[in-house]
């Protein structure tokens, strides 16, 4: 259907139906066989059997199909569009050295154009794998002209929802603190003017901010933001440094200094003691589980079962394009299950149904957005994915949850709807000239690599 046809559907008073052999709701009931969702404008109006909805609303156009699988849009709880132009490099480094040789080298050279193009490039991949909301932390050095509003511009052009933050740090000597907060303010203003974005205050890590800047960040967030986005307990080195310098764990420091009084999403949470888990649970902190990047950087394994067993909402993240390196939610979901089973040597450590919920409603809850997105329920945002039941990978569906988690890939993502707008139609992005985007990104990536001195890094990886 053309974009004009989609626009017409959104304007219809009756809306339209999206049909599937299985509608997986991430709510109750968790599955409706031969079901349908009625969308009116940007909202889910009804959900039920296809026979019932088609008889009650006979004038509604019908999309999807009798063999398709319909799900909520996936929630990516952690990522970095700032890395979109430096994929497939620096594979032989653990996190600390990886930050030093790659991210610190790139950060001074990112500008608004690279933020915009990088967001488009990463966002196209996200939409093609069913992501309808992404929680991003853009890591760059502050500049005279603000950089991060380019992320909001990119998300608006894609029609992709975003929670946007700037990964603030004064770790590098000479970083002007006032410029850091000017960047926060510019991103906050851009998000406020957007129909798709919300603003959070980003913190790279506890170690990346002096205590005075940490306190100011908390104050700024309490007045201006929907919450906090921070990396916590990703590596043992991070924890040891904070214990030596501030005499407690990073999680304890956040709890003691007011950070957890705000809605907080903590990325990674790999190395945790029981006291850390109790603090996260008692403060309602959500956790982003990033299995692929944790493996690439050899950081460790997030204790998902312990966290979820303590009542902590755990979502899934694809992490950044330089540490994953694909922006593929379906890969993250499947890998997330397999890593837990391998780590625990238990085939029941994490099930397909549990992983599906982590990618949908539990991810939304980790971001404190579960009343608005994350499940197919009347009154919630019309963020949906249609998986192609005509694909060989989904030809024989015995359990639709396992089919999505283990069998489906980007090719099976047929349609994606964000706030009632069809952003992927028959596997193709709507309104985005992908070949032109790829061509433009190559120019920017080559320029960025030269300025950041990454040529020798690429040769080093090749020689190894």
pLDDT of residue 457: 55
Residue 132 contacts residue 418 (beta carbons within 8 Å): yes
Helix (H) or strand (E) holding 256: helix 250-256
3-66+377-429 against 74-366: fold identical? no
pLDDT of residue 462: 39
pLDDT of residue 175: 76
Residue 115 contacts residue 144 (beta carbons within 8 Å): no
Say which CATH architecture domain 74-366 belongs to.
Alpha-Beta Barrel (3.20)
What three-state secondary structure class fits 313?
A: coil
Residue 356, classified by CB atoms within 10 Å of its CB into exposed (0-12), middle (13-18) or buried (19+), is buried
pLDDT of residue 330: 98
Digit-by-digit pLDDT tens for the chain (464 residues) are: 344 444 444 445 789 999 999 999 999 999 999 999 999 999 999 999 999 999 999 999 999 999 999 999 999 999 999 999 999 998 899 999 999 999 999 999 999 999 999 999 999 999 999 999 999 999 999 988 999 999 999 999 999 999 999 999 987 767 789 999 999 999 999 999 999 999 999 999 999 999 999 999 999 999 999 999 999 999 999 999 999 999 999 999 999 999 999 999 999 999 999 999 999 999 999 999 999 999 999 999 999 999 999 999 999 999 999 999 999 999 999 999 999 999 999 999 999 999 999 999 999 999 999 999 999 999 999 999 999 999 999 999 999 999 999 999 999 999 999 999 999 999 999 999 999 999 999 999 999 999 999 875 554 443 33
Residue 128 contacts residue 429 (beta carbons within 8 Å): yes
According to DSSP, residue 73 is labeled: P
Could you give the C-alpha distances from 167 to 134, 139, 358, 399, in angstroms and in order? 15, 5, 24, 40
**Alpha carbons 132 and 129: distance in angstroms, whole number:** 9
Taking every pair of Cα atoms in the chain, the longest distance, rounded to a whole number of angstroms, is: 68
Instruction: Report how far apart the first and last C-alpha atoms of the chain are (Å, whole number).
Output: 49
| Joined tokens for residue 415 | 């349609």
Rg (CA), the chain: 21
Torsion sign, CA atoms 219, 225, 226, 231:
negative
Query: From start to end of 127-171, where are the E strands?
Result: 131-138, 161-168
pLDDT of residue 456: 59
**Alpha carbons 406 and 387: distance in angstroms, whole number:** 13
φ, ψ of residue 147 to 5 degrees: the values are -100, -50
pLDDT of residue 176: 86
**Alpha carbons 434 and 180: distance in angstroms, whole number:** 33
Nearest-CA neighbor of 200 among 209, 191, 211, 213?
A: 191
Q: Output the DSSP codes for 176-243.
A: -HHHHHHHHHHHHHHHHT-SSEEE-EEES-STTS-HHHHHHHHHHHHHH-S-EEEEES-SHHHHHHHH
What does pTM read for this prediction?
0.94
- Whether omega for the bond prior to residue 458 falls within 30 degrees of 0, making it cis, is no
Q: Taking the domains of the chain in order of start, what are their residue ranges?
A: 3-66+377-429, 74-366
Residue 147 contacts residue 428 (beta carbons within 8 Å): no
Q: Candidates 3.40.640.10, 2.30.40.10, 2.40.160.20, 1.10.490.10; correct CATH number of 3-66+377-429? A: 2.30.40.10
């Amino acid at each position: 259907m053309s974009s004009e046809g989609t626009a017409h559907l959104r304007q219809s008073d009756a809306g339209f139906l999206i049909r599937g052999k299985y509608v997986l709701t991430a709510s109750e009931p968790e599955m409706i066989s031969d079901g349908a969702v009625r969308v009116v404008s940007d909202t889910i109006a009804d959900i039920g059997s296809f026979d019932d909805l088609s008889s009650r609303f006979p004038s509604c156009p019908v999309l999807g199909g009798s063999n398709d699988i319909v799900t909520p849009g996936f929630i990516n709880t952690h990522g970095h569009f700032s890395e979109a132009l430096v994929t497939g490099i620096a594979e032989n480094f653990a996190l600390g050295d990886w930050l030093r040789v790659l991210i610190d080298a790139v950060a001074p050279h990112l500008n608004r154009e690279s933020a915009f193009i990088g967001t488009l490039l990463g966002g196209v991949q996200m939409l093609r794998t069913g992501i309808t909301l992404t929680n991003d932390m853009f890591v760059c050095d502050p500049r005279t002209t603000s950089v991060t509003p380019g992320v909001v511009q990119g998300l608006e052009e894609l029609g992709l929802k975003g929670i946007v933050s700037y990964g603030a740090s004064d770790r590098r000597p000479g970083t002007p603190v006032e410029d850091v907060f000017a960047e926060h303010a510019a991103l906050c203003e851009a998000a406020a003017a957007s129909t798709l974005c919300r603003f959070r205050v980003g913190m790279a890590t506890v170690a990346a901010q002096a205590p005075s800047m940490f306190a100011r960040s908390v104050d700024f967030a309490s007045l201006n933001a929907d919450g906090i986005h921070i990396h916590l307990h990703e590596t043992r080195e991070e924890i040891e440094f904070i214990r030596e310098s501030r005499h407690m764990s990073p999680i304890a420091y956040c709890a003691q200094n007011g950070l957890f009084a705000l809605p907080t999403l903590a990325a990674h949470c790999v190395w945790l003691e029981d006291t850390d888990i109790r603090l996260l649970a008692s403060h309602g902190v959500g956790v982003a589980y990033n299995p692929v990047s944790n493996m690439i950087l050899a950081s460790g394994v997030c204790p998902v079962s312990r966290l979820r067993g303590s009542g902590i909402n755990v979502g899934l993240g694809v992490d950044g394009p330089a540490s994953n390196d694909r922006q593929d939610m379906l890969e993250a979901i499947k890998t997330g299950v397999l890593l837990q089973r391998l780590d625990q040597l238990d085939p029941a450590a994490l099930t397909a149904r549990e992983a599906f919920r982590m990618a949908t409603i539990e991810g939304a809850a980790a971001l404190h957005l579960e009343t608005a997105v994350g499940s197919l329920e009347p009154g919630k945002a019309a963020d949906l994915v249609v998986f192609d039941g005509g694909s060989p990978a989904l030809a024989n569906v015995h359990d639709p949850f396992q089919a999505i988690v283990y069998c489906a890939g980007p090719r099976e993502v047929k349609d994606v709807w964000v706030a009632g707008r069809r952003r992927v139609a028959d596997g193709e992005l709507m309104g985005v000239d992908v070949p032109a985007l790829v061509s433009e990104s190559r120019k920017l990536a080559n320029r960025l690599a030269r300025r950041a001195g990454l040529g020798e890094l690429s040769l080093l990886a090749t020689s190894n």
